[in-house]
Amino acid sequence: MSSRFWTQGGSDSEEEESDYEDEVETGGAEAANETAGSRYLKGMASDSDDSDGQKRVVRSAKDKRFEEMIATVDQMKNAMKINDWVSLQESFDKINKQLEKVMRVTESVKVPSLYIKALVMLEDFLNQALSNKEAKKKMSSSNAKALNSMKQKLKKNNKQYEDLINKCRENPESEEEKDEDEETEEDEDEESEFEEDIVEGSDADEEEEEEGEEEADDVNDKGWEKKLSKKDKLIDKQFKNPGEITWETVNKKFKEVVAARGRKGTGRFEQVEQLTFLTKVAKTPAQKLEILFSVISAQFDVNPGLSGHMPINVWKKCVQNMLIVLDILTQYHNIAVNDIIEPDENETQKPADYNGTIRVWGNLVAFVEKIDTEFFKSLQSIDPHTREYVERLRDEPMLSVLAQDVQDYLERVGEFKAAAKVALRRVELIYYKPQEVYDAMRKLVDQVGDGDEKAGEEESRGPSAFIVVPEVVPRKPTFPENSRTMMDMLVSLIYKYGDERTKARAMLCDIYHHALLDEFSIARDLLLMSHLQDNVQQMDVLSQILFNRAMAQLGLCAFRVGLVAEGHSCLSELYSGGRVKELLAQGVSQSRYHEKTPEQERLERRRQMPYHMHINLELLEAVHLICAMLLEAPNMAANVHDAKHKVISKTFRRLLEVSERQTFPAPPENVRDHVMAATRALMKGDFQNAFDVINSLDVWKLLRNRESVLEMLKANIKEEALRTYLFTYTSSYESLSLDQLTKMFDLSEAQIHSIVSKMMINEELHASWDQPTRCIVFHEIEHSRLQALAFQLTEKLSVLAESNERAIEARIGGGGLDLPLRRRDNQDFAMTGAAAGKWQDNLSYTQGRQVNIRLGYAGSGRTVVLGQSGGYSRNRSGQSRGASGYSGGYRNSAARGSQMDSSARMVSLNKGVPV
Amino acid sequence: MASYDLTQRIAPNLDRHLVFPILEFLQERQLYSDEQILKSKIELLNKTNMVDYAMDIHKSLYHTDDVPQDMVERRAEVVARLKALEEAAAPLVSFLQNPSAVQELRPDKHYNLQMLNDRYQIGPNQIEALYQYAKFQFECGNYSAAADYLYQYRALCTNSERRLSALWGKLAAEILMQNWDIAHEELNQLKEKVDDSKNFLSPLSQMQSRIWLMHWNLFIFFNHDNGRMQIIDLFNQDKYLNAIQTNAPHLLRYLATAFIVNKRRRPQFKDFIKVIQQEQYSYKDPITEFLACVYVNYDFDGAQKKMRECEEVILNDPFLGKRLEEGNFSTVPLRDEFLENARLCIFETYCRIHQRIDMGRVLAEKLNLNYEEAERWIVNLIRSSKLDAKIDTKTGTVIIEPSHPNVYEQLIDHTKALSGRTYKLVSQLMEHVQTQAAR
């Protein structure tokens, strides 16, 4: 330290320098002394390595404060050198603040000598500066101002420490010595107690090993005790002599500490520490249990706000405490934990061998849930790209072992409802893990197992001062070979005993997990049979998010197994609002149209999914758009004339419109561009190009069975390309030979035959096979001019009749007329899903039929039809507002028309520019 | 062919006694070794009271005359218990066997109970004994007695749960006695009970009952004259179809067969195809695959192959492969019917998407017929105006007229509703005006 100073302070005046040197040296000595002390302590505890870790943690906090202080003193010195009073003033404020901290950390009343020395130095410098009138004049105004205020502040401040300062001035050395004395004194103190404890230990007739444990404990205790404030120390004096400790004293103290909870001025950490100490001196298992519960509650209190999370080391200790609680509960069967009955005052006085149940107030499930929530929260707030996040994830086995043990205990006690709740937490820990991740976690548990064992012991050994609890509950989670078996086990328990919400959530997790394993049909059946879609709107937001996640995963699963239409219907709703991120709770999406209040934003942030649980959005988007493409490309080709009529995916159409508006297509960059490029190729029937573009997406590497998925995709693209081609170009052909098609689309004859036959049967394609020549013969169904006009006429007639009806309805009011409403089968997944078992069929079949009808009067007064359909749907949504709805519909369509116009104009403008 | 055997999936849903006919059939078809079947028979019988029968089988299985000790003991036990039950139920049985006494019974149940109690000292205990006795008789294989007693019991019993099981017992007994008409009546009664959700605690148990009912009905449907229509009526109801889809997809085979054989169920047929498509992952056999080939994939060669497999399946299915003995012949009527209809299915679909078909090579091959037969078959179809086509003998092809929707018909369709709507409009207007005037 001094050497550093030397290099810095070389330029200043000699005398000052020497002065400083002295001071710094003493400071350094101080620090050295400190560490020496701690080493000494360590030496004491040498029998067990355990205390090491704890000790160091405590020390480092203290050291850190001191270091900070030293740094500030350094700053002050620097400021003095350049005569910068402004920064000097700042540093002074800072050091005062740090002083408070140091005092708190060291728990002593004595002001550190370092501080005093800084004051002395400051005073000297101030006097010197004041005496130097000339220099004072030269100062800038702000500097002078600072000097003056500094003068006053210092005066005021130094009054408090007058004696100390004087003493310091007299001889800086004695101060230090005294310090050392104190230190040794305390050490002696410790030693004596330490001996006592050993006596006590042998009295208790404990084994050698445990003695060692005790010693370690005791040292810990001392270290801890030293930090207590004076008052606490006084009270703790009662416990100095272990022989004198009775149940009553412990109970009294316990009540006292608990009563202080939540009061102003009660340090949260301190409370935890006090209570931890009490657990060690507890007289009966029941009392220990009771106190442990309070410790855990107090540990929960450590983190005040809703937004932050519990410090990780506190969390870990909390988990260990829970495990000890379980140890006690399994060891002493007569203790029952309950949060319904208020136990009597002296319930915990009953000894371990008390005949009958001892009731202790507490709720294990709530604790486990809270711990789980804290774990979740910590993952939410830690930056996922740091090492810390990974470290944190490694703590998961700890949580799962706790949950497992609690669940086992609850099942043993017969509280299946509670067990189901805990089981749900466990389900939520594993449901999103594919088999690979699950295996990795199992391996981690095996690896960490040994190391963890030690760590676990070290923590749990601590408190066994009076009540020694052997580790009964396993400290290592056991995982079945297969994640599915584990899910099945947990989920069946939940279905049996859980309440509605628990069951619903478990079901969603189950669906998610099945979908993850590519078991689409099982997942779908679960979803449809549970009727979750019907009442998901009434569930809480978190469950809705889970539902969305399950749907997204289901969509991905459907795609992987090659069910394009199903995949699309699962995903389309997610993408319809453009708020995918928000719906999946994977980030906040900014909406341009309405600002969110800070409150809303905070809420939203609180329900974010941790990063490792995310569903890859890029993959999801790719899957959604590809599904939409495969469905839309032939659909658009089939209905060129009234393109607006039947839209499968609005999102896709919009994107396509945007990309078509571009003057010339750039090479694709993101997922969207790729799919659009593929669509353009597909519309021409160029399947190879379409596939190549899609194949070049790099999201595919996220898929496990990449090869087979791409294979499936290729087959699908070929098929849709064929269909699109046929729709688009039939009008140019009289007949098409099968051989030619097989060559064009690289499909087998049987496949082409099957695809084309299907189109014929569904009457999408007006053609038939000519078997001897192996050709498709197209039938012309072109209407003659007269016929077309006749169709137009009837169309107009029906419009007329309809508007008459509406006019009358508006006059008379009330919908007495039953208008022939054309039912439009909705494609909402959620809606059709309700009619269990028939969901996707609704889609494909009605589509076929509708196409048919539409083809009849394609080309005749298109806009009219459009306006009508708008009116229809309006009307259906509310009969009573018939008239207004109708006009609304018209206005709408008119607006749409104008929009289209303007967009058309924009296109032409754009076109004009490059030319 | 044993892979398509459904016995393992069907048996758990049947009564022990009902499994016997199936095992008999399997024995006859020799799908499994005799030893296997005899062993499973003994296993079945162990839980019943038909000890004598079990003994016989044991003897034939191991070719000995010795009988294991436990069977002998069990026999003694059964006889003793039979005696005891007979005594307990004796008062009521003797009452019921007395025609003049039975005449005193009236439709009013309470009256009857009262009367029995007062005049014959027959209380609830005796009535309960009758039930036990009937059950025991059934277990012993004395079905006709069991059926009689259960019938009587139902008239006297007040416990609805007991009544339900009595109903099941009666149905089983009638099936085993092959009284198909009576069994069919019982079935309808039972169906009403099963559909009444009041009788069940949970939807799950109700569904289970439905599945049982459907399985038991297989006996009736494929033996009763009108059964094949009824199987569609029953199985294709939403509730029952759901039950099939959830827990017993193998029943789809019977429904599919019934649909193929019954041509006149078009609208339901379309829905059914969708169900088959949907359940492909959970169940498929040649019959459902055949339907998928013809109506989903339009793979006619595949359908051809499946048809041949279907034949095997039908012959080996205890319900579908029922034989009729006519003199020296034994025919399987359902097989012939199935094949005929299946062929028709294929051809029909085939014609819908073709305008010209080579009769000699393709069609005859597809229909499993030679040229002459094929021609005759088609001519018959054309004559019965099932097919709008002509045969061109010069080229040896069938030419099918493409059917277009008639433009005039379409126009008429469009405008048909207009006049009606206008009339309605006017009448409504008039009404409105009148009410206005009245005010």
- Which residues in A have their CB inside 8 Å of a CB on B? 521, 525, 529, 750, 753-754, 757-758, 760-761, 768-773, 777, 779, 781, 783, 787, 790-791, 794-795, 797-798, 801, 804-805, 808, 811-812, 816-817, 820, 836-838, 841, 845, 856
The separation between CA A721 and the C-alpha centre of its own chain, rounded to angstroms, equals 42
| Main-chain phi, psi angles of A736, to 5 degrees | -135, 135
Angle at Cα A527 formed by Cα A521 and Cα A533, nearest 5°?
145
Rounded to whole angstroms, what are the CA distances from A225 to A61, A240, A253, A444, A776?
Answer: 15, 11, 15, 38, 95
Place of tokens 């934990």: A337
ipTM rounded to 2 decimals: 0.76
Q: Name the pTM for this structure.
A: 0.66
Tokens matching residue B265: 């169920």
What amino acid is encoded at A603 in this protein? L
* A894-908, B43-57, B172-186, range with the lowest pLDDT: A894-908
Question: B237 to chain A, minimum CA–CA distance in Å?
Answer: 14
Inter-chain residue contact B282 with A753, CB threshold 8 Å: no
For residues B236 and B275, what is the distance between their CA atoms, to the nearest angstrom? 10
pLDDT of residue A106: 67
* Chain A nearest-CA residue for B299: A754
Statement: residue A512 has pLDDT above 90: yes
Q: Give the percent of chain B with pLDDT over 70.
A: 94
* Nearest alpha-carbon partner for B67 in B80, B54, B48: B54
Tokens matching residue A131: 């005496």
Inter-chain residue contact A769 with B355, CB threshold 8 Å: yes
- In tens, the pLDDT along A605-641 reads 778 888 888 888 889 999 999 999 999 888 888 877 6
* Chain A nearest-CA residue for B293: A754
- In tens, the pLDDT along B409-428 reads 888 887 888 888 888 888 88
pLDDT of residue B74: 81
For residues B259 and B253, what is the distance between their CA atoms, to the nearest angstrom? 10
Consecutive H or E run containing A31 = helix A14-44
Inter-chain residue contact A845 with B274, CB threshold 8 Å: yes
* Nearest alpha-carbon partner for A751 in A734, A684, A567, A759: A759
CB pairs under 8 A between A and B: 98
Residues 6+ apart with CB under 8 A from A353: none
Residues of A within 8 A of B298 (CB-CB) are 753-754, 757-758, 761
Statement: residue A898 has pLDDT above 50: no
For residues B254 and B8, what is the distance between their CA atoms, to the nearest angstrom? 16
Please answer whether residues A702 and A619 qualify as being in contact, where contact means their C-beta atoms are separated by less than 8 angstroms. yes
* Nearest alpha-carbon partner for B318 in B2, B1, B6: B6
Which of B298, B352, B422, B436 is the mutation pick for testing A, counting most A CBs within 10 A? B298
What amino acid is encoded at A897 in this protein? G
For residues B138 and B17, what is the distance between their CA atoms, to the nearest angstrom? 9
For residues A551 and A558, what is the distance between their CA atoms, to the nearest angstrom? 10
* Nearest alpha-carbon partner for A514 in A545, A566, A480, A557: A557
Residues of A within 8 A of B432 (CB-CB) are 811-812
Question: B358 to chain A, minimum CA–CA distance in Å?
Answer: 6
* Chain B nearest-CA residue for A836: B242
For residues A162 and B65, what is the distance between their CA atoms, to the nearest angstrom? 119
Inter-chain residue contact A801 with B297, CB threshold 8 Å: no
Statement: residue A511 has pLDDT above 90: yes
- Give A591's pLDDT tier (boundaries 50, 70, 90): low
Mean pLDDT of B341-353: 82
Residue B1: CA atoms inside 13 Å, Cβ hemisphere, count? 15
pLDDT of residue B7: 80
pLDDT of residue B399: 84
Question: A351 to chain B, minimum CA–CA distance in Å?
Answer: 48
pLDDT of residue B236: 83
Helices A500-516, A541-560: crossing angle, 10 deg rounding: 20
Q: Which residue has the higher pLDDT, A118 or A545?
A: A545
* Nearest alpha-carbon partner for B236 in B270, B204, B199: B270
Q: For B3, which DSSP code?
A: G
Residues 6+ apart with CB under 8 A from A127: none
Tokens matching residue A8: 């810095």
Please answer whether residues B280 and B289 qualify as being in contact, where contact means their C-beta atoms are separated by less than 8 angstroms. no
Mean pLDDT of B232-260: 85
Inter-chain residue contact A790 with B274, CB threshold 8 Å: no
Question: A801 to chain B, minimum CA–CA distance in Å?
Answer: 7
Contacts 24+ apart (CB under 8 A), A99-105: A99/A69, A101/A65, A101/A68, A102/A62, A102/A65, A102/A66, A102/A69, A105/A61, A105/A62, A105/A65, A105/A227
End-to-end Cα spacing for chain B: 83
Q: What string of DSSP letters covers B153-209?
A: HHHH---HHHHHHHHHHHHHHHHHHT-HHHHHHHHHHHHHHHH-GGG-SSHHHHHHH
For residues A764 and B10, what is the distance between their CA atoms, to the nearest angstrom? 42
For residues B293 and B304, what is the distance between their CA atoms, to the nearest angstrom? 9
For residues B19 and B7, what is the distance between their CA atoms, to the nearest angstrom? 9
For residues A537 and A523, what is the distance between their CA atoms, to the nearest angstrom? 20
3-state DSSP helix/strand/coil % of chain A, to nearest 5: 75, 0, 25
Residues of B within 8 A of A757 (CB-CB) are 298, 353
For residues B134 and B148, what is the distance between their CA atoms, to the nearest angstrom? 8
Mean pLDDT of A792-818: 77
Statement: residue B325 has pLDDT above 80: no
**Cα diameter, chain B:** 104
Selection from A136-150, A694-708, B89-103 with the highest mean pLDDT: A694-708
The separation between CA B263 and the C-alpha centre of its own chain, rounded to angstroms, equals 17
pLDDT of residue A868: 29
| Cβ count within 10 A of residue A906 | 11
Q: Is B47 on the interface with A (CB under 8 A)?
A: no
| Main-chain phi, psi angles of A49, to 5 degrees | -70, -20
For residues A335 and A358, what is the distance between their CA atoms, to the nearest angstrom? 5
pLDDT of residue A241: 56
Query: Which residue among A761, A783, A791 sits closest to B353, beta carbon to beta carbon?
Result: A761
Inter-chain residue contact B395 with A772, CB threshold 8 Å: yes
pLDDT of residue A342: 62
Residue B389: beta bridge partners? B400
Residue A324: CA atoms inside 13 Å, Cβ hemisphere, count? 31
pLDDT of residue A137: 66
Residues of A within 8 A of B428 (CB-CB) are 808, 812, 816-817
The separation between CA B111 and the C-alpha centre of its own chain, rounded to angstroms, equals 39
For residues A823 and A873, what is the distance between their CA atoms, to the nearest angstrom? 9
* A539-543, A746-750, B381-385, range with the lowest pLDDT: B381-385
Q: Is B405 on the interface with A (CB under 8 A)?
A: yes
Please answer whether residues A547 and A539 qualify as being in contact, where contact means their C-beta atoms are separated by less than 8 angstroms. yes
- In tens, the pLDDT along A194-219 reads 444 443 434 434 344 444 444 444 44
| Main-chain phi, psi angles of A107, to 5 degrees | 60, 30
Average per-residue pLDDT for chain B = 80
Q: Which residue has the higher pLDDT, B393 or A515?
A: A515
b/e code A441-454 from CB counts within 10 Å (16+ = b): bbeebeebeeebee
pLDDT of residue B403: 67
Residues 6+ apart with CB under 8 A from A747: A718, A719, A722, A741, A755
Statement: residue A805 has pLDDT above 90: no
Q: For A522, which DSSP code?
A: H
Inter-chain residue contact A769 with B432, CB threshold 8 Å: no
pLDDT of residue A225: 42
Inter-chain residue contact B298 with A816, CB threshold 8 Å: no
Q: Which of residues 275-304 of B touch A (CB under 8 A)?
A: 275, 278, 281-282, 297-299, 301
pLDDT of residue A500: 86
Q: For B32, which DSSP code?
A: S
Query: Which residue among B354, B410, B424 sits closest to A769, beta carbon to beta carbon?
Result: B354
* Chain A nearest-CA residue for B301: A750
pLDDT of residue A265: 63
Mean pLDDT of B253-267: 80
pLDDT of residue A4: 46
- Give A568's pLDDT tier (boundaries 50, 70, 90): very high
Place of tokens 């704890």: A54
Inter-chain residue contact A837 with B299, CB threshold 8 Å: no
Please answer whether residues B228 and B261 qualify as being in contact, where contact means their C-beta atoms are separated by less than 8 angstroms. yes
Consecutive H or E run containing A341 = none
- Give A498's pLDDT tier (boundaries 50, 70, 90): confident
Residues of A within 8 A of B410 (CB-CB) are 791, 856
* Nearest alpha-carbon partner for A426 in A351, A362, A488, A335: A488
Inter-chain residue contact A772 with B281, CB threshold 8 Å: no
For residues B280 and B299, what is the distance between their CA atoms, to the nearest angstrom? 16
* A1-15, A461-475, B90-104, range with the lowest pLDDT: A1-15
Residues of A within 8 A of B292 (CB-CB) are none
